[in-house]
Amino acid sequence: MKIFKTVTEMQAWSSSEKRENRDIAFVPTMGALHEGHLELLRRGKEAADRLVLSLFVNPTQFGPREDLDSYPRTLKNDLQKAEAAGVDAVFLPSSEEMYPRGFQTFIQLENLPNHLCGIKRPGHFRGVTTVVLKLFMAVNPDVALFGKKDYQQFRVIQQMTADLRLPIRILPVDIVREKDGLAMSSRNLNLSPEEREATPRIFQSLVATQRWIDEGERKPGHLESRLIRTLTLDPKITVDYVAICDPQTLEPLKKLKPESLLAIACFVGQTRLIDNVLLKC
């Protein structure tokens, strides 16, 4: 498994693979790899001749009061997992490599970031789109895989790729969950045992919302407040937002659509967790 720390080295390897007519699948991550990431890698392995993983905790997508410093970093472990998953090349740039002194070029979408996490984390998606475009230019992939756990991120990247006519296929991957339903996330490592015990309630309340719809409740507002009440029965959980929205535009819905996205963000202690389901209405 190759490890590249500079954009130039990464680009040179990709070019030589392309010259040999091999196509490239790419899985961008911030490391602390878990089964969710490994599922993306498995799907990437099937999708192309070569598989590239990036490990980069991107500072520009964290707000000033967010968890950049406490974000879990497990590099040695990650490289072992990557090797076992059949990764051909790891792109492991430093912050200085991605954002050299004087850096001033950012990419920003007009509408999709104005909903859900974008409201709660101003500037987050500007950081995400900027880093993903830069990673795409370093890796030059034919296909890139994104988890639906970060559904808004997937839509933002899909939109950016279409808007810029990037010749990259964006492949969404279903959410991988723990046995008790908690969506896998690197941030789960920061939960105390008591906090971890509270977390199954998050997915359970999403499943319950589908049940309330099946039982006849049709008003998004009613569903959202009932969901918030259910979640906050546990005092360890505070809701950041709950929203029922259009899965394409992410605009809030006043009336349910046949497929509506239910997205949620909450804090369990200091740890912010997100989850979502596609409601069948």
Residues that bind ligand AMP (CB under 6 A): 29-30, 36-37, 39-40, 146-147, 149-150, 173, 175-176, 183-186
Separation in Å, CA 141 to CA 21, 27, 44:
13, 9, 11
CB-count burial class (<10 Å; 0-12, 13-18, 19+) for 269: middle
* Least distance from ligand AMP to the Cβ atom of residue 72, Å: 10
Least Cβ distance, residue 31 to ligand AMP (angstroms): 6
Instruction: Kindly state the smallest distance separating residue 258's Cβ from ligand AMP, in Å.
Output: 24
For residue 24, give the nearest of 138, 131, 178 by alpha carbon. 138
**Closest separation between CB of residue 79 and ligand AMP, Å?**
15
What is the four-CA torsion angle of 21, 43, 132, 122, rounded to 10 degrees? 170
Looking at beta carbons only, is 29 or 140 nearer to ligand AMP? 29
Label the pairing between strands 143-147 and 89-91: unpaired
Could you tell me the two tokens for 23?
Answer: 């196509």
Of 34, 37, 115, 124, catalytic:
37
Question: In what side-by-side order are the strands of the sheet with 271-280?
Answer: 237-245, 259-268, 271-280
First and final C-alpha spacing in the chain: 46
Name the residue nearer to ligand AMP (CB basis): 127 or 147: 147
Tell me, yes or no, if 115 is annotated catalytic. no
Residue type, position 247, single letter: P
List the 169-173 sheet strands across, edge first. 2-4, 89-91, 50-55, 24-29, 143-147, 169-173
Question: For ligand AMP, which is the closer residue by CB, 186 or 205?
Answer: 186
- Closest approach, Cβ 149 to ligand AMP, in A, equals 4
d(CA 152, CA 132): 14
Considering the complex, what minimum distance in angstroms separates the CB of residue 166 from ligand AMP?
16
Q: Is the separation of the CB atoms in 67 and 189 below 8 Å?
A: no
52 or 175, CB closer to ligand AMP? Answer: 175
- Residue (223 or 273) nearer to ligand AMP, CB: 273
Kindly state the tokens that stand for 182: 């908690």
Judged by beta carbon, residue 10 or residue 223, the one nearer ligand AMP is 10
Q: What is the Cα–Cα distance from 281 to 209, expressed in whole angstroms? A: 11
- Kindly list the catalytic residues: 37
